[in-house]
Amino acid sequence: MPSLLGIDIGTSGTKVIIMDEDGTIVASATETYPLHTPHPNWAEQDPADWWAATVDAIRRACERGCVEPTDIGCVGLTGQMHGLVLLDEKDQVLRPAILWCDQRTWDECRWITGAIGGAKRLRELTCNPALTGFTAPKIVWVRDHEPDVYKKIRKVLLPKDYIRFMLTGEYATEVSDASGTLLFDVEDRRWSHDVLGALGVSEDWLPRCYESPEVTGRVTGMAARETGLVEGTPVVGGGGDQAAGAVGNGIVKPGAISVTVGTSGVVFAYMDEPALDAEGRLHTFCHAVPGKWHAMGVTLGAGGSMRWFRDTLCEAEVAVARCAGTDPYELITAEAAQAEPGCEGLVFLPYVTGERTPYPDPNARGVFFGLSLRHTKAHMARAVMEGVAFSLRDCLELVKALGVSMGEVRVSGGGARSALWRQIIADVFGAPLVTLKVTEGPAYGAALLAGVGAGVYRSVPEACERTIKPAGVTEPELSGVALYEEYYGLYRDLYPRLKPEFDRAAEIVSRRSREH
C-alpha cells in the first residue's frame, strides 16, 4: 500500500510527515522560517519561505525514512488559517502574506459589518462575525492602504493553498479553510455571493473550493524536480490546521472534543449541523469531514504566552538548556511545579496578541494581576500556564452552551506534552484529558485525508478508527478543581474591568505612533 505524505504550513515552520496505512509515522522533518512584525499589531511572512521550507522538508523526510518518491500515493495539505496571499496576473506574490495573528484590521472589520447590513446579517451569511484575524478584512485593508497593490490582484490564496499552487499549478482550496475567510457561506459550503458583492471582491479572484478529501490537482513536473516527488502524485484538499488537527485527534463524530495547546489554544467540537453562538463568540466552520461542521473557540496566546515568557524572562534557562542539550520549556515547567496551585493570588491574562474567544478584542493585552514581593519567577511561569487554562475554559463553556455533548476531552499540541500543564487544564476543566499515541497534529490529519483521497480508507471516520489510539489519561484532582473554580471566577472578572483601560492604552500608543 502507498505511503501518505502530510504537509503543515505552520506559523513557525513547515512540518512534513510520511505515514503508512496503519498510521505509523515513517519519517518527519521540520524547517523553520521567520515571522516579521514591521509595525505594532502586524504579523507577516514571505510565502517564498514557506515553499523553500516545504521543498527541504519533503526531501529530508524522504531521506530519513528511506522512502522512495514512487511509494508516496497522495499528498495532504494543512496550515495556518486566515492568511492573505495575493498573486498578480503572472502569479507573482504582490506583498508579504498577512497572517492570522495580525491585528491591524479593526477599522476594516467595522466597515465590513456595516457594509453587510449589521452583525446579525453577517452571521446569517457566514456563520461568523468580522474578526481581525480573518481574510476578508485583510483584503479591505489592502484596498484602503495599498491601492497600487490592490489593483494588481488576480488571485487570493490561503497559506496552504499557495503551496498547493506551487505543487500543482491549481488555484484550489477546501471548505474548512475557506470558512475562515469571512467570504464563505458556511451553511451551504460555497463562496457567498452576497458578501462578495457587498465588499466588491471578484469571485474570479478566489480558488475553486473542494471537500477536504477530494483530489484537487497533481504534482507538476517543475514541482517534482524541486521536491523530489513523482510528477502526477495526487494532492487532496486537506484542511485548515484546526480541522486537520481534529481529524488527527479523531474528532470526526459526536461525543469527543479536542483541546489544542499550540501557539494559539483551541477548543474544537464536531457538529452534524451548523450551530451558532448568539453573540458570535465561537467560530462555526465547515469540518474536514464532508458534509459536517464544527464549533471552535480560540485563545490567541496559549503557547505564544509561554514562548513570550521564555524569550523575555528566561535567558538563564535557555542558556542552561543549550548546554545540557535539553528543552528550556522542561526547565521552566520544573520551576513552575514548585509554585502552589493558584500562585498565591497571581493571575495571568494571556492576551499578549489581543484576544478572540470570548472577547474579540485586538486591544486586549497580557496582564499579571496580584504581584507581590513573595512572588518568584516560578509563580509567574505557573500563572502563565493557569491563565491559558482559564482562557481555554472560557472557550469550553461556550461550546457546552451550544448543547454539544462532551463525552471525552482529547488534548494535543506542544503545550500538552507538559504533564504539569495537562494537570492544570484537567483541574480547571474538572474533566479527564486523554492523550493519543500519535502527536503529529495537523500534519497527521492531512496525511489521513490524503489516505481517503487515495482510496486507502473509505471515509474520514474509518481512517481515524484504524489509526488513532489513546495513550493515557490525566484525571482531575478534586482539591485542584475546587481551588481553580474560585480563581476562574476572579479571572473572569478581570477583563470587563480592564477593557476601558485596554482601549485607552491602545489610543495612546496609536496617537504616539502617528506623531512619530
Query: Whole-angstrom Cα distance, residue 110 to residue 115?
Result: 9
Give, as one character, the DSSP assignment of residue 199: H
**Does the bond joining 358 to the residue before it have cis omega, within 30 degrees of 0?**
yes
Q: How many other CB atoms sit within 10 Å of the CB of residue 449? A: 36
Region at 169 (left for phi over 0; alpha for psi -120 to 50; beta for the rest): left
The verdict on whether 241 is a catalytic residue reads yes
| Stretch (H or E) spanning 218 | strand 215-218
Catalytic residue among 241, 277, 361, 394: 241
Number of helices (H), then strands (E), in the chain: 18, 24
- Sign of the dihedral defined by the CA atoms of residues 423, 287, 215, 470, in that order: positive
Cell of 496: 470587563
CA distance 26 to 199: 46
Amino acid found at 355:
E
> Which of 269, 491, 298, 489 minimizes the C-alpha distance to 395?
298
Burial of 324 from C-beta contacts in 10 A (0-12 / 13-18 / 19+): exposed
Read off the C-alpha cell for 294.
Answer: 464544527
Q: State the DSSP string of 83-123.
A: -BEEE-TTS-B-SPEEPTT--TTHHHHHHHHHHHTSHHHHH
Smallest Cα–Cα separation from 17: which of 71, 56, 58? Answer: 58
Torsion of CA 473, 293, 447, 76, to 10 degrees: -150
Ramachandran region of residue 413, left (φ > 0), alpha (ψ -120 to 50) or beta? left
Tell how far CA 369 is from the center of its chain: 28
Catalytic residues: 241
